[in-house]
Amino acid sequence: MNFSEIKIHSNIKKSLTELNFVTTTQIQTEAIPFLLENKIDLIALAQTGTGKTAAFGIPVIDQIILKNNYTQCIILCPTRELCIQIKKDLDKFAKYMEIKINSVYGGTDIKAQIKSLSKGNHIIVGTPGRVIDLIKRKEINLTKINTVVMDEADEMLNMGFKKDIDTILQKTPNNKQTLLFSATMPQDVLKISKSYMKKPHIIEVAKRNEGAKNITHSYHVVGAREKYSALRRLCDFNPSIYGIVFCRTRRECKEVSSKLMRDGYNADALHGDLSQSQRDHVMEKFRQKNLEILVATDVAARGLDVDDITHIINYNLPDDNEVYIHRSGRTARANKKGNSIIIATDRNLKKIKAIEKMINKTINLTEIPTGDMICEKQLLNLINKVVDSPVDNQIDKYLTGIKEKLAHLDKETLIKHFVSVEFNRFLSFYKNKTDLKTKDKFDADKVDSKNIVRFHMNVGKKNGVGAQHILGLINDKIQKRNIFIGKIDIMKSFSFFEIEAEQEKEIIRKLNNIKWRGAQLKVEIAKEFSQEKQSKSKKRKKKKKK
């Protein structure tokens, strides 16, 4: 479908023509006509980068009544970065309209946002926390709105915004239209749809919880101490890389980014310890492609909206498998191709198998590139750059002197000298390096779980606890590298986490009875795990007696 065929205001069409919007994406083809013709609630499942903002933004702008100088639509999204991006896109779509659009988010001066809101607004784009703050201050009134949009609903729930979303939706009229856009459909999103939506129409551009189709998924299995070496080789083997390396914790993020920068890579870090201005600075460098590699945590990278990313590298897999979809969905945008790579240890194989089932795709076991493969790839890349480089005619006046200097060299020797100027770093680095061998593939269901202990702790969702908080707590208190942390389950008032048995005593000693997230922490071995262990022990004893 072409945008010219859609029955929208001529001023919106004028803006879209200037933006070179010609053909609609699949989500736009299905959502825009539906929303223009219906006031029914909508659930739209589509991956990041498929044009979701235009899918809901164009119908919302088209249906704004200018003379009604009050908030007619609120758009909720998980992060400041996404909030700013949506506002920018809506401003472009409404360039020739007189619609007032405001964005509100944390990490910046609330007074400036209040001043902007006081001038009137038809559409508000906001993060849940800041929207609630402004509702309490009576600066936002949602009693007359026609439309609520929840963009990246699964991400908002992963970040612990469920209570905030409930609070905001309770302030809205019953007869509004609710639009829920999400990449995946976890149980929490289903609960919101059942609580606040009336018989919603469902559009599924991709199957539920399935990744984008033009992403190549692969993994390498290495020892825990070889992960950084594997990362270096993957970066070197892809000389035109423009990618994100995902880490589980801030500490790991800092370590990996520091090593990459020390080793001469054009890299930087994005994590929760950075101030907002530092984050903005790093993001701007990355968007402008002044950085090739961004090392990030999931929390810091949420809402990150950048085109042309070639590689997503999972330095560690996330606890929630659905987060893998969000990570990989940051490449292969707008029908381009992309790569999602996992640097795994043998402990990750069960998880990889589960992710394969979820995305309905094979994740291919691949060899780590050898030193020879990397040197050949880099050399050919250098030659291609030379061949494609434009020649400045000003060089002509220096040619006589240059020829005299090079006259004693034959063609082959000249090429060797020329290439060595740029290429000796790779040759010397990989000259005596032992190649990393990907471990043999084996059945993930046979991974030994005898050395894993499951713990119970007395805090959960009501304390604002997410998997990332438990990871951070363990890493802060147990100052050891390469600790295996297994499955994490967050319940309403308590949580479970799995960890290698050798850390059992230290976990109990260092985590018990400390004050954390407003509670006196109590950590103990989970009863069902303990009972299961006893049961297995009894069975073994019975067998011995026989």
Residue 260 has what pLDDT? 96
Closest CA to 13 of 51, 61, 56: 61
* Overall number of domains in the chain: 4
CATH of residue 45's domain is 3.40.50.300
In the prediction, which pLDDT does 531 show? Answer: 45
Spatial distance between the Cα atoms of 74 and 151, rounded to a whole number of angstroms: 11
pTM flag (> 0.75):
no
In a domain, 442, yes or no: no
Q: What is the DSSP letter of 198?
A: S
Q: CA-to-CA distance for 90 and 355, rounded, in angstroms?
A: 35
Q: Are residues 170 and 227 in the same domain?
A: no
Domain assignment present for 79: yes
* Whether residue 188 sits in one domain with residue 46: yes
**DSSP codes, 291-311:** -SEEEEEHHHHTT---S---E
Q: Is 181 helix (H, G, I), strand (E, B) or coil?
A: strand
Residues 56 and 34 in one domain: yes
Joined together, the tokens standing for residue 80 give 């400041």
Within this chain, do residues 59 and 145 fall inside the same structural domain, yes or no?
A: yes
> How far does CA 510 lie from the centroid of its chain?
31
Q: Are 125 and 79 in contact (CB under 8 A)?
A: no
Task: Count CB neighbours of 63 within 10 A.
Answer: 17
Closest listed residue to residue 512, CA positions, set 503, 526, 523, 501: 523
Please identify, among 343, 370, 397, the residue that sits at the C-terminal boundary of a domain. Answer: 370
| Angle CA 191–139–303, to nearest 5 | 50
Report yes or no on 497 lying in a domain: yes
- 350 falls within a domain: yes
Q: Which of 146, 171, 204 marks a domain boundary?
A: 204
User: Minimal CA–CA distance to 499: which of 451, 534, 460?
Assistant: 451
Same domain, 60 and 191: yes
pLDDT at 446: 41
Give 331-354 pLDDT, tens digit per residue: 887 678 899 999 998 778 888 988
Do 364 and 407 lie in a common domain? Answer: no
Q: Do the beta carbons of residue 314 and residue 341 sit within 8 Å?
A: yes
Range of the domain at 457: 448-545
Is residue 22 a contact partner of residue 2, using CB atoms and an 8 Å limit?
yes
Is residue 412 located within the same domain as residue 453? Answer: no
CA 405 vs CA 210, 398, 399, 401, 462: distances in Å: 61, 11, 10, 6, 75
Same domain, 352 and 473: no
Quick: pLDDT tens for 211-240.
Answer: 667 899 999 998 888 999 999 999 999 999
Phi-psi region of 160 (alpha: psi -120 to 50; beta: other; left: phi over 0): left
364 and 219 in contact (C-beta within 8 Å)?
Answer: yes
Specify whether 308 is located in the same domain as 380.
Answer: no
* Spans in the chain with pLDDT lower than 70: 206-212, 302-303, 334, 437-450, 479-483, 528-546
Are 318 and 364 in a shared domain?
yes
Same domain, 10 and 151: yes
User: Do residues 15 and 134 share a domain?
Assistant: yes
356: exposed, middle or buried (C-beta count within 10 Å: 0-12, 13-18, 19+)? middle
Closest CA to 221 of 327, 131, 351: 351
> Which pLDDT score is estimated for 482?
54
Residue 324, in any domain of the structure = yes
Q: Which amino acid is at 428?
A: S
Look at residues 173, 204, 235 and tell me which one is the last residue of a structural domain.
204
- Amino acid 436: pLDDT: 81
Scanning 214-338, the segments in alpha helix (DSSP H) are 227-237, 250-262, 276-287, 298-301, 321-328
* 61 inside domain: yes
| Tokens linked to 252 | 């790991």
SS3 102: strand
